[in-house]
Amino acid sequence: MSRVGHPTVPEPPRPGMFSNARVVGRHFFVSGMHAGTPEGPVGGGDVYRQAREAFRRTRVLVEACGAQVDDILALRIYVTDIADKAAVGRARAEVFRGDFPCSTLVEVSALVEGGLGVEVEAQGIISATATADA
């Protein structure tokens, strides 16, 4: 098992609290990514821009795990307002093409930091796409 990070993704606030990403065998797991920064969310209150940043962070962590975005098999997306699903879907469509991952989108009352409207969690198998094509 290995813990994975990336210099463009903020580390957890307290060491040992959780990992941004883990690899176990060929399986990878990415914790919920959001657009939070100490100065406030990337994109401010614009949930589309927040979603783009959450997906960017997810992508770079997946790649740091040795996988590709197409190797993501399951997504869980949390929004604080279900009315934002179209904006999040627009950002999601910029990332995924072809065989889409299984996906869940749910509304929650709040996320870890004030002002956040979306959080994305992912898991998959390294080289899943290559295996599926063989």
Domain span at residue 24 reads 2-133
Q: By percentage, how much of the chain surpasses pLDDT 90?
A: 68
How would residue 99 be classed by pLDDT, with cut points 50, 70 and 90?
confident
Q: Burial-class residue 117 by CB neighbours within 10 Å (0-12, 13-18, 19+).
A: buried
Using the predicted structure, report yes or no on whether residue 4 has a pLDDT greater than 80.
Answer: no
Q: Pick from 123, 106, 101, 115: which is nearest to 34 by CA?
A: 115
pTM for the structure as a whole: 0.89
How would residue 8 be classed by pLDDT, with cut points 50, 70 and 90?
confident
CA distance 107 to 85: 9
The domain that holds 113 is classified in CATH as 3.30.1330.40
How would residue 72 be classed by pLDDT, with cut points 50, 70 and 90?
very high
How would residue 98 be classed by pLDDT, with cut points 50, 70 and 90?
confident
Residue 104: helix, strand or coil by DSSP?
strand
Domain count, the chain: 1
* Distance (Å) of CA 70 to CA 81, 116, 118, 128, 130: 27, 26, 21, 8, 10
How would residue 53 be classed by pLDDT, with cut points 50, 70 and 90?
very high
How would residue 132 be classed by pLDDT, with cut points 50, 70 and 90?
low
CA distance 45 to 93: 20
Q: Which helix (H) or strand (E) holds 23?
A: strand 21-24
